[in-house]
Amino acid sequence: MAIRLEVVPTAAALADAAAARFLAVVKDALAQRGVCRVALAGGSTPRGAYERIASEWQASGAGIVWSRIHVYWGDERMVAPDDPRSNYGMARAALLSKVPIPADNVHAVPTDAANAASAAARYDEALRAAATAGDLPRFDLVFLGLGADGHTASLFPGAPTLDETARLATVAKHPDTGEPRVTMTFPVLNHAAALIALVSGAEKARVLERVVRGVGRPAGSPLLPAERLKPNAGTLTFLADEDAAPWARSANTGPNT
Ligand code: 6PG
């Protein structure tokens, strides 16, 4: 599987490029199958991309039909939607509140559940309900982030969730804050047609070089969560700004390309 690295000059260019990829994937999926399923990332990096998608749609319609697009999340913090930490809340403010997507098409992690375990169980059911062939939903696009420790979604280094093969969603806990979360698991992520990790900032440069090129991976060390992204029938792209990839010179510098 080839890992593709695309480097753009700035965080603003990253937002533009991510929005362009989103719109291209959605248009293609709608043309091919009349429906599109995407999963959004949380954290701070994707906000600019979501805002750009909204402004593109507001300016021109962008050739997409929101009633045919279903939005999920790769992970969520167990907080209320109006909590500033909410990944759903961030996407709602930056994008979903600005476009005519039907409420039934917005599949947020049910953080109103009694606890993370029941939220994860309900989200697992929602993901299974999205499956069209077999028991795994195939997302047309999954946006992801990359933590400086190599985590992605809420799959953290050394967590037992990395080896989860049955559940499509499970409970996670932030290693520093202990914050309860719900995350998609690798069976779902690696079944996607396109995984695109959005990576910005100098603090990600080392981990990104390791994930993309294997540089700095101690012999015999376990793979970082982001190193375990291996779409079985899809593409994996790291879309980064120059601050996150000062070591890269060409547009396609993955270890297997
Ligand atoms: C989250 C994300 C997490 C995030 C990375 C990068 O809920 O925080 O799922 O995986 O994408 O930590 O976050 P930044 O974009 O803020 O650097």
**67-88 tens-digit pLDDT:** 999 999 999 999 999 999 999 9
Among protein residues, the one whose CA lies closest to atom 13 of ligand 1: 43
Instruction: Please tell me the distance between residue 250's alpha carbon and the centre of ligand 1 in angstroms.
Output: 26
Phi and psi at 199, nearest 5°, equal -130, 125
Please, what is the average pLDDT of the chain? 95
Q: What is the pLDDT of residues 84-114, one digit of tens each?
A: 999 999 999 999 999 999 999 999 999 999 9
Q: What is the pLDDT of residues 236-253, one digit of tens each?
A: 999 999 999 999 975 444
What span, in angstroms and rounded, lies between the C-alpha atoms of 183 and 109? 9
Average pLDDT over residues 211-227: 96
pTM of the model: 0.95
Contacts of 233 (CB under 8 A, 6+ apart): 191, 193
The closest alpha carbon to 125, from 102, 103, 109, 101, belongs to 109
* Contact (Cβ atoms closer than 8 angstroms) between residue 123 and residue 182: yes
Q: Is the pLDDT of residue 256 over 50?
A: no
Q: Is the pLDDT of residue 257 over 50?
A: no
Ligand 1 test: best mutation among 40, 152, 185, most atoms within 8 Å of CB?
152
Q: Does residue 75 have its Cβ closer than 6 Å to ligand 1?
A: yes
Instruction: Please tell me the distance between residue 41's alpha carbon and the centre of ligand 1 in angstroms.
Output: 7
Q: What is the pLDDT of residues 152-197, one digit of tens each?
A: 999 999 999 999 999 999 999 999 999 999 999 999 999 999 999 9
Q: Does residue 180 have its Cβ closer than 6 Å to ligand 1?
A: no
